[in-house]
Structure formats: C-alpha cells, structure tokens
Amino acid sequence: MTSERRTELELPALLSDLYVESAPSYRFDVLAQTSRMRQRPRWTFPERWLPMALVRRRTWAPALPMRPVLIVAAILLLLVGLLIIQAAGRRSVPPPYGIARNGEIVYVVDGDVYARDSVDAPARLLIGGDAVDEAPTFSRRGDKFVFVRGTAVGGPYALWVADADGSAARELVGPLTDIDSWDVSPDGSTVVVSSRGADRRMQLELIPLDGSPSTVLPLGVQATSPRFRPPDGAWILFLGGDPKGRSTPYLVRADGSGLRELEVRIKALDPDHDFKHGMDWTGDGSQLAFVAVDDDLPRSGVESGLRIDIATVASDGSVIDQRRVEFDPTADHELNPNFLPGTGKLLYNTRNRDVDTVSIGVPGVRGGTSVGPASTTLGGIDYVISPDAKTALAYYWTEQTTYLFDLTTMQSRPIGLGTTNTITHQRLAP
C-alpha cells in the first residue's frame, strides 16, 4: 500500500536545493573584491548638475491617423499646382485705352500679312497665299486681329479674324460690298463694320469675333465711319446721311437704341471734309476731337480751311462744351487729330499749300512742334501711335515710305517695311 505524498511539506527543502544550485560558486570572490573599492563620487553623476526634465527625450504620439492627413495634404498640393499652372498660362490683358506695352507690328505687303517684333526685327510671314489680304487691325486686347480678304484688288471682300500669331484664321462674314471702315470694341469681342447692304444703303453691322451671328443695327439712316466710344464701348459714333452728300454725326447705343444727333457746332457742313479728316476720343470718352471746314480761314486753291475742334460730351451723349484748337492761325489746314496717351497732347497734320507735316501740340497753346520730314507731293501722311506713346509709325503715301518718329526726341528715320500703307501695333499688358 502506497502512502500519500504531501508536497507542501517537502517544498522548503526543494527551494533550498534550487537556490544553492542556481547561485554561481564565485559569488563570494566577487563580494570580497568589490568590498575594498571606493564608491563613485556624487559630482560625477550628470543628474546632479543637469535638470533632467529638460534633456529628457519626448516622443510625440499623433492624435489622428497619419494616412488621411497625408492624403488631404496631397490633394491640396495638387490643387495649388493646378492653380499655378492655370495662372501662368493665362495671358494678361492690356487696358483698352491709355498706355500699354508695345507688341508686334503687323502690316501688309503685296496682299500678304507680315509681322515684326520691333521695327528693326526681321519680318516673318503670318498669312500668305493667293488671296489678297488688307488692312489688319488688332483688337484692343492684343490677342487677335481682323482683316479683309478678297480674291482680287477691289473686292468683294470678306471680314476675317486670326490669332495674334496668324494662326486660326477664319472668315467672320462675307461677302461685303463697299467697305467704308470698321472699329473693334474696347473688350475685343466685337467689330463694327460700315458696308453697303442688300438695299444698297450703307449700314452698320456688329460682328462678334467668336463667330456668333452678326447683327445689323436698325438706324433708319445710312451710316459710315463708326467709332466705339471709350471706355466701355456702350455708344457708337458714326456719320449718318448720304455718304456723298451732307452728313450728320450721331451716337447710338451698341444695342441699337438711343439714337441721337451729336449736337456739335459746325459752321458749314461739308460732305467731303467734316469728320472725314480725322476724329478721336480721349481714353475716358469725355472729349472728342474732330475736323470741320471753316470758310473764314485762308485758302490755298479751292479748298476751304480745315480746323480741329474738341467737344466735351456727357455720358448721355449731350455736348457740354466745344472749343476750337488752333495751333497755327496762318496754316491753310490743321487736321487728323489723335490724342497722345498720358501726355495731354495732340498729334496732328498741317498742310500749307503743297507741304504736309506731322506735329505735336498742346490744345489751347499756340505753336506745335514738327516731327519728321515734310512731304511736298500732296499725297498726305498717315500715322499710327505706338501703345507706349513714345513713337509713331508714319506712312508717306506718295513716297510709299514709312518713318519711325521718336515723339520724345523729335528724331525720325525711315524703316524698311516695304510699300505698306496699313500698319497695326499690338497692345500688351504693361
């Protein structure tokens, strides 16, 4: 018979045996050696001299999971990058009036459209081919230019538009008969054209540059020489009446409403001269410079003397004031006025007998300053003021020569644009 074994009675002896066997035999030698060593001085412990709370390394534990945070950050960075790319690709738009930066010069030679980055830069062909292209005119935004195209000199013509580099050329409307003139709206979206309609009467047609359908303004009178009124183009100035007879200056809203006569004082309405030798608005649309005949002036031959007047026009089209601008009382003719942006001056032409000149003067101050050589061929001189208002390109019709006028130094020199008589200067943002 096997007796019951009581483990709890034997446990102390078992633990004592385990302890003895687990302790190393050299423990007494170690204790004997260390008992003779001095204790490390207190000053050698860094904790005595440094505040350990400051040098303790802290571990940051994120309050939120990192993966959603990183995803949101990546999306935000992508959006910012897209905005930057879009802003870089968006072309700055120059103001429609006033000072702007000079862009390229576009002109026509032998029915083809050329461009130069400056007057002395090499020419490059923008639009060529068998068609006859004429009279390019830049929009005031500088992004497009309109021109007329025909299959032969004399028309019939169609109105075309192209991007500034000559690409994307496309027809807007055509055929057009007896095109008189046109002007581009301040926002660069529309061109107003005077041409002969199906009823053989001269009309004004508003043509969007995006290719949308055009609109003929219901004026009830024949219309030529249209000009948008600055600064927003809400009004259009034009000459109404028989193009070969007496005409009257009118203002009409761009939507065809509000037709009213521009009540300027003209002593003798002349079908060949009044308003037809130049007119120009100030950039804010408050003043209009125009040319009219004055029978009381000296004559050189059979023509009556031409003089420049400036009318102050209210926002509703009513004339507040009108004054005569006369730089040289002895001149036979003063004509073709253009406001020189940022200067308070006028650029104009003078004709004395058979001598034509271009001059600069301050309205109300006698005496102008001539710039460039005179022409003695009775062909006349046309000019285009640069966007920065520092120079002008002047074309001498009979001589078929283009000059560069420096309007600061009053110096001039011929430039090689060929026998062109149609020049347009691109406006760029300052």
Question: 397 with 378: CB under 8 angstroms?
Answer: no
Instruction: Tell me the pLDDT tens digit for each residue of 131-185.
Output: 889 999 999 999 999 999 987 666 678 999 999 999 999 999 988 888 888 999 9
Where do runs of H (alpha helix) occur along 35-191? 46-49, 52-55, 66-89
Domain assignment of residue 123, yes or no? no
Residue 301, both tokens: 């031959």
Specify the pLDDT at position 302: 44
In the block, tokens 């950039």 appear at 283
**CA 287 to CA 400: how far, in whole Å?**
33
Domain assignment of residue 8, yes or no? no
Which neighbouring-strand residues pair with 280? 289
Residue 55: which pLDDT band, with cuts at 50, 70 and 90?
very low
Instruction: Tell me the pLDDT tens digit for each residue of 281-324.
Output: 999 999 999 998 876 655 544 456 889 999 999 999 999 999 99
Residue 222: which pLDDT band, with cuts at 50, 70 and 90?
very high
Mean predicted confidence (pLDDT) in 263-283: 77
Specify the pLDDT at position 125: 95
- DSSP H helix total and E strand total for the chain: 5, 27
Q: What 8-state DSSP symbol labels residue 92?
A: P
How far apart are the two ends of the chain, measured CA to CA in Å? 119
Specify the pLDDT at position 278: 86
25: left (phi over 0), alpha (psi -120 to 50) or beta: alpha
Report the alpha-carbon angle 155-157-160, nearest 5.
150
Look at residues 108, 106, 126 and name the one whose alpha carbon lies nearest to residue 116.
106
Residue 58: which pLDDT band, with cuts at 50, 70 and 90?
low
Burial of 35 (0-12, 13-18, 19+ CB in 10 A): exposed
Domain assignment of residue 231, yes or no? yes
Residue 32: which pLDDT band, with cuts at 50, 70 and 90?
low
Look at residues 232, 297, 230, 241 and name the one whose alpha carbon lies nearest to residue 269.
241
Residue 233: which pLDDT band, with cuts at 50, 70 and 90?
very high
In the block, tokens 């031409």 appear at 306
Instruction: Tell me the pLDDT tens digit for each residue of 87-122.
Output: 445 568 899 999 999 999 999 998 899 999 999 999
Is pLDDT larger for residue 28 or for residue 164?
A: 164
Report the alpha-carbon angle 305-306-309, nearest 5.
135
**CA separation (Å) from 182 to 17, 195, 237?**
120, 9, 11
Domain assignment of residue 315, yes or no? no
Q: What is the mean pLDDT of the chain?
A: 83
Domain assignment of residue 320, yes or no? no
Domain assignment of residue 275, yes or no? no
Question: 227 with 279: CB under 8 angstroms?
Answer: yes
Look at residues 189, 178, 199, 184 and name the one whose alpha carbon lies nearest to residue 244.
178
Specify the pLDDT at position 218: 94
Q: Which domain holds residue 193?
A: 130-262
Instruction: Tell me the pLDDT tens digit for each residue of 235-251.
Output: 999 999 887 777 789 99
Is pLDDT larger for residue 135 or for residue 274?
A: 135
**CA 289 to CA 352: how far, in whole Å?**
21
Q: Is the pLDDT of residue 271 over 50?
A: yes
Residue 2: which pLDDT band, with cuts at 50, 70 and 90?
very low
Mean predicted confidence (pLDDT) in 388-403: 93
Is pLDDT larger for residue 295 or for residue 23?
A: 295
**CA 306 to CA 329: how far, in whole Å?**
11
pTM, full prediction: 0.76
Q: What is the CATH number of the domain that holds 248?
A: 2.120.10.30
Domain assignment of residue 89, yes or no? no
Report the alpha-carbon angle 295-299-301, nearest 5.
125
Domain assignment of residue 137, yes or no? yes
Specify the pLDDT at position 178: 87
**3 state SS of 84:** helix
Specify the pLDDT at position 223: 94
Q: Is the pLDDT of residue 33 over 80?
A: no
- Range in 75-79, 216-220, 331-335, 411-415 with the lowest mean pLDDT: 75-79
**CA 341 to CA 346: how far, in whole Å?**
9
> How many domains does one find in the chain?
1
Specify the pLDDT at position 38: 60
Specify the pLDDT at position 93: 86
Mean predicted confidence (pLDDT) in 377-399: 92
